[in-house]
């Protein structure tokens, strides 16, 4: 391609670097291609043909999100190939909560300066997230914005579109007292609460690469950059066999804000605190930051990245399906008559 502009480059935007970044990312994008993709990267729109096999009343479900201030950890560690997984996870896990399977994903990356190799590393993470969730990466945008972002910083966001049969949209109208709440483990802090995390650990003035005994010898930086877990494939396997009454993605706001979103009025969630398998990173945050337990459960996932509510008679089979799909799920509570939302005791 002969397109170039020395004047634009002098102003801080290198369109040639943009072309180089696209070329470098193509190999990663290729890994995400599914049968519905009809267009190549570089066009003005991403085309996707819907496969309606087994779907009587198709409903499209969309979700959008970003990575938040977790990106500051990527800057500090100079590691950019995992935050893309977080970006995808935050979107696809949300649409999963209504029973949808993600079809495709588009990203938006804004940078202070376009470093093609770094852009390619970022997109490699996005592509990995798409592979994990079965979604195709059918487009995106990289915007070089000198004077708006520092040269070594960037922001990343994206959105997904999924599909579910109208008759299979998760319905909590049959939820009642005695239904059981199953917790599905998180991989770590995921992508929420990092403003508090950064304050607690004073990350800009700390050796983030030093091993930490409480974290099994892993560094704080490595632990905090652990990508958000993507729950699509294990949960879709559950949906195939179990009538799930409610699913919550435990993101910002922790247990107290997210679990009630899947519960109808008049009912609440009673969580057995002793059952929750809290990850070491959360114990360290609470200890170093002197953060009250109530605030911890109202900010972080505490080791539970997703919850599923099922009838008591379906608990054993649900857990068995999840374990067969690599998730060591376990019971963390039950549904009770309550107007208080979540009670942890």
Whether residue 193 sits in one domain with residue 152? no
Closest to 337 (Cα-Cα) out of 275, 277, 266? 266
Task: Indicate whether 133 belongs to any domain.
Answer: yes
Task: Indicate whether 96 belongs to any domain.
Answer: yes
* Tokens linked to 188: 């770590």
Q: Which residue has the higher pLDDT, 75 or 20?
A: 75
Whether residue 196 sits in one domain with residue 90? no
Whether residue 155 sits in one domain with residue 61? yes
Sign of CA dihedral 108, 112, 118, 120: positive
Mean pLDDT across 143-147: 94
Mean pLDDT across 89-103: 98
Residues facing 158 on adjacent strands: 65, 107
Lowest mean pLDDT among 40-49, 109-118, 260-269: 40-49
156 touches 83 (CB < 8 A): yes
Closest to 188 (Cα-Cα) out of 219, 160, 211? 219
Last-in-domain residue among 168, 199, 227: 168
Q: What does pLDDT average to over the chain? A: 94
208 touches 76 (CB < 8 A): yes
Q: Give the pLDDT band of residue 21 (cuts 50, 70, 90).
A: confident
Whether residue 289 sits in one domain with residue 260? yes
84 touches 105 (CB < 8 A): no
Residue 116: pLDDT over 80: yes
Q: How much of the chain, in percent, has pLDDT values that exceed 70? A: 95
Residue 1: pLDDT over 60: no
pLDDT score of 26 = 85
pLDDT in tens, 204-248: 999 999 999 999 999 999 999 999 999 999 999 999 999 999 999
Give the pairing of strands 101-111 and 136-144. parallel
Residue 328, domain CATH: 3.90.650.10
Last-in-domain residue among 146, 168, 190: 168
Give the contacts of 138 (CB within 8 A, at least 6 positions apart): 37, 39, 46, 47, 48, 104, 105, 106
pLDDT score of 15 = 67
Q: Give the pLDDT band of residue 19 (cuts 50, 70, 90).
A: low
Residue 51, domain CATH: 3.30.1330.10
Whether residue 18 sits in one domain with residue 69? yes
pLDDT in tens, 193-207: 999 999 999 999 999
Task: Indicate whether 1 belongs to any domain.
Answer: no
Whether residue 181 sits in one domain with residue 245? yes
Whether residue 278 sits in one domain with residue 143? no
What is the count of structural domains for the chain? 2
Task: Supply the range of the domain harboring residue 143.
Answer: 6-168
Whether residue 298 sits in one domain with residue 243? yes
Q: Give the pLDDT band of residue 23 (cuts 50, 70, 90).
A: confident
State pTM to two decimals. 0.94
pLDDT in tens, 53-93: 889 999 999 999 999 999 999 999 999 999 999 999 999 99
Whether residue 314 sits in one domain with residue 222? yes
Whether residue 114 sits in one domain with residue 229? no
């Amino acid at each position: 391609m002969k397109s170039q502009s020395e004047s634009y480059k002098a102003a801080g935007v290198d369109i040639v670097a943009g072309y180089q970044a696209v070329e470098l990312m193509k190999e990663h994008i290729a890994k995400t291609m599914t049968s519905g993709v009809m267009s190549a990267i570089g066009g003005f729109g991403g085309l996707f043909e819907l496969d309606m096999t087994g779907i009587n009343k198709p409903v499209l479900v969309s979700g959008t999100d970003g990575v938040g201030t977790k990106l500051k950890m990527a800057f500090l560690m100079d590691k950019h190939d995992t935050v893309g997984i977080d970006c995808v996870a935050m979107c696809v896990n949300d649409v999963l909560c209504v029973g949808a399977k993600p079809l495709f994903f588009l990203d938006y990356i804004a940078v202070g300066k376009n470093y093609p190799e770094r852009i390619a590393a970022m997109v490699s993470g996005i592509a990995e997230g798409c592979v994990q969730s079965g979604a195709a990466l059918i487009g995106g945008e990289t915007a070089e914005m000198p004077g708006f972002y520092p040269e070594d910083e960037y922001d990343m966001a994206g959105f997904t579109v999924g599909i579910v049969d109208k008759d299979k949209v998760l319905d909590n109208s049959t939820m009642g007292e005695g239904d059981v709440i199953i917790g599905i483990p998180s991989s770590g802090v995921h992508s929420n609460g990092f403003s508090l995390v950064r304050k607690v650990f004073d990350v800009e003035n700390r050796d983030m690469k030093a091993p930490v005994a409480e974290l099994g010898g892993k560094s704080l930086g490595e632990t905090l950059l652990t990508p958000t877990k993507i729950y699509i494939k294990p949960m879709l396997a559950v949906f195939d066999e179990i009538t799930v009454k409610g699913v919550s993605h435990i993101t910002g706001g922790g247990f107290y804000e997210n679990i009630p979103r899947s519960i109808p009025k008049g009912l609440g969630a009673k969580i057995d605190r002793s059952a929750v398998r809290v990850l070491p990173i959360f114990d360290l945050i609470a200890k170093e930051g002197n953060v009250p337990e109530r605030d911890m459960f109202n900010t972080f996932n505490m080791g539970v990245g997703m919850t599923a509510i099922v009838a008591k008679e379906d608990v054993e089979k649900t857990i068995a399906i999840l374990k067969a799909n690599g998730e060591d799920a376990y019971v963390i509570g039950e549904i009770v008559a309550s107007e208080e939302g979540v009670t942890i005791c």
